[in-house]
Structure 1
Amino acid sequence: MSSSSRLFLPDAFLEQMRELLPDGADFDRFIAISQQPLRRSIRVNTLKISVPDFLNLVAPYQWELTPIPWCDEGFWISRADADNLPLGSTAEHLAGLYYIQEASSMLPVAALFSASPAPERVMDMAAAPGSKTTQIAARMQNRGAILANEYSASRVKVLHANLSRCGVSNTALSHFDGRVFGPALPETFDAILLDAPCSGEGVIRKDPDALRNWSAESTDAIAATQRELIDSAFHALRPGGTLIYSTCTLNLRENQQVIAWLVDRYAGAVVIEPLNTLFTGAERVVTQEGFLHVFPQIFDSEGFFVACLRKRQSVPPLPRPTYKVGQLPFSPVRTKERQTIIAAAEKVGLKWDEATHSLWQRDKEIWLFPLALEPLLGKIRFSRIGLKLAETFAKGYRWQHEAIIAFADPQAANAFELTSAEAEEWYRGRDIYPERELPADEIIVTCQRQSLGIAKKVGSRIKNSYPRELVRDGKLFSS
């Protein structure tokens, strides 16, 4: 049945919600808010820009930005220009200065860093499309390492694109069922985020048909998978480490009861860290156990559930996997070659921290791996580790776009600042014909003092090297 002509709410779901919200007025508020459009929200990417500098930069837009209480970098956004330009087509979004992210989904990472302020090695167990992985990377300032896993092969490409746009360099990607990590990588991570696949009861404001296939039986089946995933995550967590379990659903079976199952299974090893002081207002959504159970009417957001657990001690290991990882097709770059690569990179305005990243090579490719992930090499097969720095060829190095976004100095001697109109041409994949002198034969192309890519000077024009798969058409930021 439906409470409106647009929103599909099954009768059994409504009965469940009446039990969860026994106060009739509160239930009515839930139904009313569920029929309202979801507020847009963004998170400033502090790998690229500080929050004050971002607010100054976007001031001419006259956006109405309301701070999100649980995320210092997060804002609800109201725009007078909303009909004219999608949020994903602004200059600032294309340059990775902000991520379009629902406010409630910023909660799990806030909880993770509240309980584990400086983790060295983190796993995001269900990472695509990348909102939480990029949020974790920003909190880590690209130090340490993140294993970003995604079960869906089609979503790994989207995950990588978002990491690249945001300048994330401390991540390895994997494509596995999350149940493999407990057996394959026992006691490996300081912190794990399991944003578990769920029935999606909290996202009906964004997707009115989210509950078309909903049933009590389907949520029971999903909860069984969630128990297996949280069991795997708990084994992959080192003693003393932090596990964040979150969902965008509302029922007890997929939330409180999954945690209760884990606590019962490993009695004495699981400690619940209460989240009642995570932010001002948390007391409005905290449960008796100390979890956050966010109903959409409380903060005018999506529905969400977050639990924070600490592993007090080791638990009996799971059977080790029998598969073979295969030989790693990379080898460390030798010292002499490393110095040559570093010098050539610095010449074009590229620099990275050798205390956090190391150079590896595969055939003619040069890669930068996060040092904190090197102990995992040979234990699991990665889809991608770190980022591709360059390809070698007869005349030197062909620097890669993702390395420029992550490591180029936008104030280097060879940086060239584009006008807004020129930057739009860049994103459309067209060559640029500036009527002013170019600083070098190989140029770091910038706009708003942010690196957009690297290009060759050919005569008086800039030859566009923006990756073909990223080229945009349609309305862009200066249209």
Structure 2
Amino acid sequence: MRLPDKFKNTMRSLLEGEADAFFATYAQPRTAGLRINGLKLGLTEYEERFRDDGRAGFGSAGRTADPIPWAAGGVYIGEEDRPGKHLHYYLGLYYIQEPSAMLPAELLDVRPGHRVLDLCAAPGGKSTQLAAKLAGRGLLVTNDNAAERTKALAKNTERAGMANAIVTNEEPAALAAAFGDFFDRVLVDAPCSGEGMFRKDEDMIREWERHSVERCAAMQEAILREAAKLVAPGGKLLYSTCTFSPKENELSVARLLSERPDFDVVPLEAPPEWGLAPGRPDWLAAEDTFGLPEERLAQLAGTVRVWPHRARGEGHYAALLVRRPEPGAEAGESVAPANDGDWQFPPLPAPPAIAAAAKRPGRGEASPRGKKPAGKGTAGKGPATSAEDDPRDKLLAFAKTTLPGWRPRGTLYRRGEQLYLQPEELPDLGRLNAVRPGLLLGSATKHRFEPSQALAMGLRMEDAALSLRLRSGDGDALRYMKGETLQPEPAAIVGTDGEPAPGRGWTLVCIDGFPAGWGRWDGTILKNELLPGWRWI
């Protein structure tokens, strides 16, 4: 691997006696990993259910998983593993992710009930990690400013079964204007020069030579400034990059500390066996540190790095910051109630007049803690609905007959024929570009409700009145994932209790106990409703 001379000279200057060990890693195989999706099961359960009979998506039967020390559910995988070719990948049971990239979401201290923003989220690996920590409670806004990248982001959120998330395509400044200091946790995995990606993707070397460290640092400055505006008093901000440059790491954090005296670095202490290295404020000796007092500059030693010669990861930097509570106020965090759910969705309101929408109160202002911002549920809900054509009726009729075990919680949102379930914590989005304004439930057409693939992926096998339960080793499982029509025995169509069930209609197809998609059972054949973009290739 030919590394740029400028990069090599800089790293030798910084690492000194460690430089040879660092450069030696470029002759070694890259590290790779995956993370079990905690929304669906844990690593131990995955091992117990699938390892012994050879149905696991990685490793061989009887082989103990090699855990990633800093990531719950994370494991290292070897060259012989092909987890992206296994049906469990398509079922959303795990996400393939570079090991050090799992560190930031772990450090952010996300808990059920929090309001969380993943600001630079595509393709969505860290968002799926954050969603698992929310455990279906609270709110996750996952955003990327590149429209093309939000396609993969939306699909990964749906595959993971995330029911309390929305996907937006906005610039950080637009989100700051719309939400204010609304979020308990904000993750900024910032665009960077990608020095920690060289071993994973040699194309990143050419990108590094085209896009200077200085240019990336300027971009990070703008992103961090807006991100800080989105953090509630007492809330936390995690800044991370996959690069080694102190100009993009310690210096970016120093700039924010100089601009926002209400933010402090939370010292990150990791067990020695993790192999993490502390931040290096001394590397900024030749830089302009914006008049930051020495005691504030020293806080940067509490940030951390993953170095490939010290730990099993390609490379990452992470800094956790906390916003001080407002004077006289106690630090508080939003807490959403447990998901008990009911069927009494609020009505779909008529849209306000354009002039009224423009004057909507609360836009661009922070909401009082624990209260919904003004205007919730009034804009963008679609045309007025007559009593004779209420899409809720079609949804409720479908759910009561097809999903008797489903207990959703949230607010209905209508966009044309499509119905979404939005988290109750979500304020009015105003004019923000919401690629997925909630969990897409399906389409309420003139005659019926047709469920979405996203809804299927967020269900449990036991929710469905009719389900076809397959194993990943079955021929029918692969045929279904390829989009083929199936002809199961009638006794194979079962109810919520797993016993053969009479009836016809929408059927949840499950593989190894987890939903894969929909089919329509007519008593003889199961018509495959798996969309082309979700099929096994």
State TM-score, norm by structure 2: 0.78
Taking structure 1 as reference, are residues 243 and 272 closer, same or farther at Cα in structure 2, changes over 3 Å only?
same
**Residue 441 in 1 paired to residue 501 in 2?**
no
Letter in 1 for 2:309: Q
Within-5 A mapping of 1:331-350: 338=392, 341-342=395-396, 344-349=398-403
Q: Would you say the 8 A contact 1:349–1:444 is kept in 2?
A: no
Aligned residue among 362, 386, 389 for 2:441: 389
Shift of residue 414, structure 1, vs aligned partner: 1.2
Q: For residues 169-195 of structure 1, what are the alpha-carbon distances to aligned partners after superposition, in whole Å with 9 as ceiling and x for unaligned?
A: 111111122243333322111110000
Q: Which residue of 2 aligns with 1:304?
A: 316
Could you tell which deviates more after superposition, 41-50 or 55-64?
55-64
Taking structure 1 as reference, are residues 51 and 219 closer, same or farther at Cα in structure 2, changes over 3 Å only?
same
Shift of residue 64, structure 1, vs aligned partner: 5.1
Between the aligned partners of 1:424 and 1:444, the Cα distance in structure 2 is: 16
Between the aligned partners of 1:231 and 1:281, the Cα distance in structure 2 is: 34
Aligned residue among 26, 29, 42 for 1:50: 42
Q: Would you say the 8 A contact 1:187–1:239 is kept in 2?
A: yes
Q: Would you say the 8 A contact 1:276–1:282 is kept in 2?
A: no
Q: Would you say the 8 A contact 2:213–2:248 is kept in 1?
A: yes
Q: For residues 205-263 of structure 1, what are the alpha-carbon distances to aligned partners after superposition, in whole Å with 9 as ceiling and x for unaligned?
A: 10123222435981011101101100100011111110000000001000000001111
Q: Which residue of 1 aligns with 2:414?
A: 361
Within-5 A mapping of 1:459-474: 459-473=523-537
**Residue 238 in 1 paired to residue 232 in 2?**
yes
Q: Would you say the 8 A contact 2:185–2:231 is kept in 1?
A: yes
Between the aligned partners of 2:189 and 2:146, the Cα distance in structure 1 is: 14
**Residue 28 in 1 paired to residue 20 in 2?**
yes
Letter in 1 for 2:265: I
**Residue 100 in 1 paired to residue 163 in 2?**
no
Whichever structure has more strand as a proportion of its residues is 1
Between the aligned partners of 1:361 and 1:243, the Cα distance in structure 2 is: 33
Between the aligned partners of 1:280 and 1:449, the Cα distance in structure 2 is: 39
Q: Which residue of 2 aligns with 1:124?
A: 118
* SS of residue in 2 equivalent to 1:210: helix
Q: Would you say the 8 A contact 1:120–1:372 is kept in 2?
A: no
Shift of residue 372, structure 1, vs aligned partner: 1.2
Between the aligned partners of 2:470 and 2:133, the Cα distance in structure 1 is: 30
Shift of residue 73, structure 1, vs aligned partner: 0.8
**Residue 168 in 1 paired to residue 166 in 2?**
no
CA RMSD of aligned residues (A): 2.7
Letter in 2 for 1:306: A
* SS of residue in 1 equivalent to 2:221: helix
* SS of residue in 2 equivalent to 1:276: coil
Between the aligned partners of 1:140 and 1:471, the Cα distance in structure 2 is: 28
Between the aligned partners of 2:416 and 2:522, the Cα distance in structure 1 is: 29
Between the aligned partners of 1:230 and 1:364, the Cα distance in structure 2 is: 38
State TM-score, norm by structure 1: 0.87
**Residue 406 in 1 paired to residue 418 in 2?**
no
Within-5 A mapping of 1:190-339: 190-215=184-209, 218-267=212-261, 269-277=262-270, 279=271, 281=273, 284-287=276-279, 289-313=301-325, 328-330=380-382, 338=392
Q: Percent identity?
A: 30
Q: Which residue of 2 aligns with 1:67?
A: 67
Q: Which residue of 1 aligns with 2:290?
A: none
Q: Would you say the 8 A contact 2:105–2:130 is kept in 1?
A: yes
Letter in 2 for 1:427: M
* SS of residue in 1 equivalent to 2:204: coil
Shift of residue 390, structure 1, vs aligned partner: 2.4
Structure 2: state its 5+ residue gaps.
55-59, 281-300, 328-362, 366-377, 494-500
Letter in 1 for 2:24: A
Between the aligned partners of 2:269 and 2:385, the Cα distance in structure 1 is: 49
Structure 1: state its 5+ residue gaps.
1-6, 474-479
Between the aligned partners of 2:258 and 2:405, the Cα distance in structure 1 is: 49
Taking structure 1 as reference, are residues 408 and 117 closer, same or farther at Cα in structure 2, changes over 3 Å only?
closer
Letter in 2 for 1:89: K
Q: For residues 3-48 of structure 1, what are the alpha-carbon distances to aligned partners after superposition, in whole Å with 9 as ceiling and x for unaligned?
A: xxxx13111111110122111xx21111111222212211000111
Between the aligned partners of 1:192 and 1:88, the Cα distance in structure 2 is: 29
Letter in 2 for 1:91: L
Taking structure 1 as reference, are residues 413 and 118 closer, same or farther at Cα in structure 2, changes over 3 Å only?
closer
Between the aligned partners of 1:250 and 1:307, the Cα distance in structure 2 is: 13
Letter in 1 for 2:41: I
Aligned length: 448
Q: Which residue of 1 aligns with 2:146?
A: 152
Shift of residue 282, structure 1, vs aligned partner: 5.0
Letter in 2 for 1:75: V
* SS of residue in 1 equivalent to 2:46: helix
Shift of residue 112, structure 1, vs aligned partner: 0.6
Q: Would you say the 8 A contact 2:238–2:319 is kept in 1?
A: yes
Could you tell which deviates more after superposition, 332-341 or 119-128?
332-341
Q: Which residue of 1 aligns with 2:518?
A: 454
Between the aligned partners of 1:235 and 1:294, the Cα distance in structure 2 is: 28
Between the aligned partners of 1:333 and 1:387, the Cα distance in structure 2 is: 21
Q: For residues 330-367 of structure 1, what are the alpha-carbon distances to aligned partners after superposition, in whole Å with 9 as ceiling and x for unaligned?
A: 4899999757734531421265545x422222343322
Letter in 2 for 1:250: F
Q: Would you say the 8 A contact 2:120–2:188 is kept in 1?
A: yes
Q: Would you say the 8 A contact 2:161–2:457 is kept in 1?
A: yes
* SS of residue in 2 equivalent to 1:105: helix
